[in-house]
Amino acid sequence: MFDTLQDRLQATFRNLRGKGRLSEADIDATVREIRLALLEADVNLDVVKEFTTAVREQAREAELSQALNPAQQIIKIVNGELVEILGGQARPLRFAKTPPTVIMLAGLQGSGKTTLAGKLGLWLRQQGHTPMLVAADLQRPNAVNQLQIVGQRAGVPVFAPEPGNGVGNPVEVARASIAEARRKLYDTVIIDTAGRLGVDAELMQQAADIRDATNPDEILFVVDAMIGQDAVNTANAFAEGVGFDGVVLSKLDGDARGGAALSIAKVTGKPIMFASNGEALADFDLFHPDRMASRILDMGDLLTLIEQAERTFDVEQSRKAADKLMAGGQFGLDDFLQQMQAVRKMGPMSKILGMMPGMGQMKDAIADIDEREIDRIEAIIYSMTPAERANPEILNGSRRARIAKGSGTSVTDVNGLVNRFMETRKMMKQLGQGGGLPGMPGMPGMPGARRPAKQQPKAKKKGVKGVSGNPAKRTGVEQAAASVPAGSAFGAPQSEADMAKAMADFQLPPELQKMFNQQNRG
């Protein structure tokens, strides 16, 4: 959704690289480009003016930092302002002291309230709550049936005493749901209300009547993030007619310009509490302004990635696989397949890679990732016998031909998978033993990993040069050796300065380096 804004901001920051300090002209040009980027993203005009004014003032007043160059200082200022206009910090749900907690969903028709009710119910159930969905949208055709299907998929019960399709009183249904939740000991009630194609008096009155009948602890305004400036106008109308406590952004994975997400919190003064970024019921989570700002500035969202991994991976299974790999045990293709399938449960690879820092410049390459490649890898591994999966070294030519035929792939595909697996296993084993990355003496081993056993020095062969006969050169070598900390693997850098130098010297693998070069030329 924020691709266009991200590209424009990155181009703006790129123009500042190489400058020793920011002049008044540099600041004016940068603020002008930021203003254009925000306007193109359909951000509210008042928000744009306030944002650029704050950036200009901070850029002028900022003291020259020895640790940050001008581009980094502007990024820091823009990041802080983005977090501010997105709401500052995440706000969790308020739960009632005496259950049930009542959550009312409001919004226009087509904003995704019914699906979002199921997503919120599933999210609450995963948090240890016992939610119940309430079908109070009795106007839209098949709205009740849709909520029942969504609730069944989410594993959340649905209270639907009326068939809908214009039959029944939504206010009475909402009121009766509170008594039903108390009787069956549900601690959270989520009320799905009716929407309209536009804001009208009937919609507002019905929503206000449901609010008065249930006295909700939270009223969440559900807004389609793809409708642009109209989202702000609708939010203001709901704030005046019914009132709401927080905003839920749906369809955040769309290809619109994202102006609603950057405007609605600032204009309404209400925080964005949740975001829905996919069609699956699990594509829903708390909205973190700082993480969203980080994504917009192409600095990644590692915290969300870690949280998704924690929810997806089997900790015990992953620990056993890591022990096999790091302790020199036999890490086989079965273990590799389990880990690959766990990664796949986190979502499409394009979405996972999009959370990594610096991937904004590789959007085209990420978009071209073929998810079916994982299917082909699974087919190849499943075509192997248990013995072949446990020990790929036994795969000779005839075995590989049989596997290729059984998986519907070519022998070249089988060879490529096996070779990549063997190289990766070798590299990870050495990394786990504290030997650093193979061929990269500047890269340290994993913290806490085993150090390789100390080897006895080999006897020098005759004719092999040892200590230099040049006194100046010999002194330089001795000083360099003395500067390496004792016990470090391959002279692994220990200080921050040494680490920074090692990272600067780090070379990407040829395939990734080629991809980066292609993107930079583009």
Indicate the burial class of 346 (C-beta count within 10 angstroms; 0-12, 13-18, 19 or more): middle
Q: Which residue from 407, 411, 332, 412 is spatially nearest to 376, judged by alpha carbons?
A: 407
CATH for 215: 3.40.50.300
Q: Are residues 311 and 228 in the same domain?
A: no
Structural domain contains residue 413: yes
Q: How far is CA 496 from the centre of its chain?
A: 28
- Which strands make up the sheet holding 158-159, listed edge to edge? 158-159, 131-135, 188-192, 101-106, 218-224, 246-250, 272-276, 284-286
Q: What are phi and psi of 247, to 5 degrees?
A: -115, 140
**pLDDT at residue number 17:** 73
Q: Are residues 265 and 337 in the same domain?
A: no
Structural domain contains residue 229: yes
**pLDDT at residue number 117:** 92
Structural domain contains residue 469: no
> Does residue 228 sit in helix, strand or coil?
coil
Q: Are residues 314 and 287 in the same domain?
A: no
**pLDDT at residue number 305:** 67
Q: Residue 29 contacts by C-beta under 8 Å, 6 or more apart in sequence?
A: 15
Q: Are residues 183 and 257 in the same domain?
A: yes
CATH for 370: 1.10.260.30
Stated as kind and residue range, the H or E segment containing 247 is strand 246-250
Q: Are residues 216 and 279 in the same domain?
A: yes
Q: Are residues 294 and 321 in the same domain?
A: no
Q: Are residues 348 and 204 in the same domain?
A: no
CATH for 74: 1.20.120.140
Owning domain of residue 77: 3-85
Q: Are residues 239 and 319 in the same domain?
A: no
Structural domain contains residue 327: yes
Structural domain contains residue 10: yes
What 472-481 contacts at long range (C-beta under 8 Å, 24+ apart), as own/partner pairs, is none
How many domains does the chain fold into? 3
**Entry pTM:** 0.63
Q: Are residues 295 and 396 in the same domain?
A: no
Domain boundary residue, one of 299, 322, 338: 299
Q: How far apart are CA 520 and CA 370, in angstroms?
A: 22
Q: Are residues 80 and 149 in the same domain?
A: no
Domain boundary residue, one of 240, 267, 299: 299
Q: How far apart are CA 196 and CA 202, in angstroms?
A: 9
Structural domain contains residue 92: no
Neighbouring CB atoms inside 10 A of 458's CB total 6
Q: Which residues of the chain have pLDDT under 50?
A: 435-455, 457-465, 467-468, 472-473, 476-477, 479-513, 516, 519-520, 522
Looking at the DSSP bridge assignments, the partners of residue 190 are 103, 133
Q: Are residues 75 and 137 in the same domain?
A: no
Structural domain contains residue 94: no
Q: Which residue from 233, 236, 262, 264 is spatially nearest to 39, judged by alpha carbons?
A: 262
Full DSSP string of 431-474: HHTT--STT-TTS---TTPPPPPPPPPPPPPTT---S-S-HHHH
Q: Strand ranges (DSSP E) for 259-370?
A: 272-276, 284-286
Structural domain contains residue 451: no
Q: Which residue from 161, 172, 263, 276 is spatially nearest to 214, judged by alpha carbons?
A: 172
Domain boundary residue, one of 269, 299, 329: 299
Q: Are residues 78 and 120 in the same domain?
A: no
